[in-house]
Amino acid sequence: MATELIKKFIAALVKPRKANTDKTDFGHALLIAGNTGKMGAAILAAKACVRCGAGLTTVCVPQKEAAIIQIAVPEAMVISRENLPADFEKFSSFGVGPGMGFDKDEEETFCRIFSGKTTAAVIDADAISILAKHKEYWKILPRQTILTPHAGEFDRLFGLNKNREQRLLRAIKFTESQDCIIVLKGHETTIVSNGKYFINKTGNAGLAKGGSGDVLTGMISALLAQAYEPLDAACIAVYLHGNAADITLGKQSLESMMASDVIENIGAAFIALKK
């Protein structure tokens, strides 16, 4: 059964921020992202996470790349992948994958993260490729893990499909037995959970560029950190991500729009929900 994501539906899901709160009330997101030559993905995810309301954001990157995050996103903290903490209890959510790479070291990082009683997680990009290679890793994922594959990544996970309709049917069937949420990215991004699906109508072709998915991962991670239910977090983030892109068209063309422009309009997308 399909549900269309409309403004009224999303606005009802968004929690108002009370005046007597501080950063500890809005969670701590950990992003495992970036690697040599792919630090832009980590920067985009981190900026989007901060913009979408996480109380604290920490980015886990290779030690030699740490300075890039500290300079580009001063609002975020940094830890190195070579010195992961013994446990992850202080983190409220986990965003894993944007630009992280998928060699043996990153496979080990994936296992360490998800073997540490991780909750509230979104898996994207290179982490999806790791999961596709090691199907046995499904058993260590927390319940209601959110996966955000584009078409190619989906086919890596589940096998080749002829078209989007076939991917949707396969996602519906898979989520009927596996407790996860699948965000099928693309035109009219669709969120699938427990055999049901939600179709998003915001967004435009300006999002068809590198970096857009990294922004979405950061946004979902931020909402998970704020204790939104995973399905709600996915629906809100997808809608706002698309609407921020629609707002961006007021100043940019479909050709000139960049992922960083979308981040700058996340706030306007939130404001639009209240009008």
pLDDT band at 201 (very low <50, low <70, confident <90, very high): very high
pLDDT at residue 64 greater than cutoff 90:
yes
Please give the torsion angle defined by the CA atoms of residues 106, 53, 207 and 172, in that order, rounded to the nearest 10 degrees: 70
Confirm whether 29 is domain-assigned: yes
pLDDT at residue 269 greater than cutoff 80:
yes
| CATH number (domain holding residue 93) | 3.40.1190.20
pLDDT at residue 197 greater than cutoff 80:
yes
The pLDDT value recorded for residue 117 is: 75
* Helix, strand, or coil (residue 29): strand
- Which two three-digit tokens encode residue 52? 């979408």
Mean pLDDT, the chain, integer? 97
For the segment 52-65, the average pLDDT, to the nearest whole number, is 98
For the segment 236-264, the average pLDDT, to the nearest whole number, is 98
pLDDT at residue 37 greater than cutoff 80:
yes
pLDDT at residue 46 greater than cutoff 90:
yes
Structural domain boundaries, residue 95:
2-14+24-273
Confirm whether 246 is domain-assigned: yes
For the segment 125-136, the average pLDDT, to the nearest whole number, is 97
For the segment 5-23, the average pLDDT, to the nearest whole number, is 96
**Amino acid of residue 124:** D
pLDDT at residue 75 greater than cutoff 90:
yes
How many domains does the structure of the chain reveal? 1
Write down the pTM of the prediction: 0.98
Residues 6 or more apart in contact with residue 165 via CB below 8 angstroms: none
DSSP state of 16: P
Tokens 């940094």 -> residue = 78
**Amino acid of residue 243:** N
Residues 6 or more apart in contact with residue 28 via CB below 8 angstroms: 54, 55, 56, 57, 58, 90, 91, 92, 93, 225
Q: Where are the beta strands (DSSP E) in the chain?
A: 2-5, 28-32, 56-61, 77-80, 93-96, 121-123, 145-147, 180-184, 190-193, 196-200
For the segment 46-74, the average pLDDT, to the nearest whole number, is 98
pLDDT at residue 12 greater than cutoff 80:
yes
The pLDDT value recorded for residue 33 is: 98
Give the Cα separation of 139 and 73 in Å (integer): 34
Percentage of the chain lying above the pLDDT 70 cut: 100
- Which two three-digit tokens encode residue 142? 């927390």
pLDDT band at 249 (very low <50, low <70, confident <90, very high): very high
- Which two three-digit tokens encode residue 247? 């707002």
Confirm whether 19 is domain-assigned: no
Give the Cα separation of 94 and 231 in Å (integer): 15
